[in-house]
Amino acid sequence: MILRLGTRGSRLALVQCEEVAAALRVRGVETETVVIRTSGDRLAQVALADFGGKALFVKEIEEALLAGTVDVGVHSLKDMPAELPGGLALAAFPAREDPRDALLTRTAGGWSALPTGASVGTSSPRRRAMVLARRPDLRADPIRGNVETRLEKLSVGAYDGIVLALAGLRRLGVSPPHVLPLDLDEFVPAVGQGVLAIEAREADREVLELLGRLDDTRSRSEALAERAFLRRLGADCHTPVAGHARMDRDELTVTGVVTSLDGATVLRGSARGSASGAERLGQVVAEALLAKGARTLLDARGNG
């Protein structure tokens, strides 16, 4: 059997796909990489929130899965909507990379290196809100493009700083100067950040079994909790939402945040319990935030 792996064509996406392919080859499974250009790639210069959000990075890959032109989809979990199309399943979550965000600045000093009014490039409403919550005097300016493009924009002075996922830098083996990993409790990551999601058709039982060998117990528990949190909120790309689960032995701590786009309003909740109840823990955190008034923020359509 040769498994056709569908992926985006960015360098990071190809590195992630090769990570999955290598793990399968070790287990005696042959693979073929199929590059699929997604709507998110084609709309490289526009605000994703105006055109369907990060789900645009997975849409065409899922269509290829359903059409049978690929057997497996390899995604960054943070790009995936809370609900999957009918007929598809998340077969495996390999071991998670570092979930933290990082602040990259042109000069040393992290936050303190940024003067009042400095421009920080960020591609998501969540990061924008958290930058402004940390430093309301800064400008959170939109930025698009792959990791290399964003690093180039920083180096030429288009921005004074940018915020990126640490996982992407590590997977690419990139070590730019002046990188400050951001505290998980203050700068809560996106749901699924650092996790690879391996998707397949529900009917392909043999494929699901093969892919299941790549599953990491800790990653799965954390991913399920975070996705249950997102699903219960009914959140979309228009509102800054953060969710992170951390497993310690058999105990899971889930933290969720919903904010206004300007970072002025921050609602936070957390729950702790057995990893066996991961999805329920995620739902509990979402319900706590809804009880605090998160629905008002979630329904605010000016946030896109």
Rounded Cα–Cα distance for residues 62 and 84 (Å): 9
Which sequence positions are flagged as catalytic? 79
DSSP secondary structure of 114-135 = SPTT-EEEESSHHHHHHHHHH-
User: CB neighbours of 213 closer than 8 A, spacing ≥ 6?
Assistant: 27, 92
Asked whether 173 and 53 are in contact (CB, 8 A), the reply is no
Query: In the β-sheet with 88-92, what is the strand arrangement from edge to edge?
Result: 30-35, 2-7, 72-76, 196-201, 88-92
Rounded Cα–Cα distance for residues 227 and 276 (Å): 15
243 alpha-carbon distance from chain centroid:
10
Question: Nearest 5 degrees, angle CA 124-CA 128-CA 132?
Answer: 170
Phi, psi of 3 (to 5 degrees): -90, 125
Query: In the β-sheet with 241-248, what is the strand arrangement from edge to edge?
Result: 241-248, 251-259, 266-274
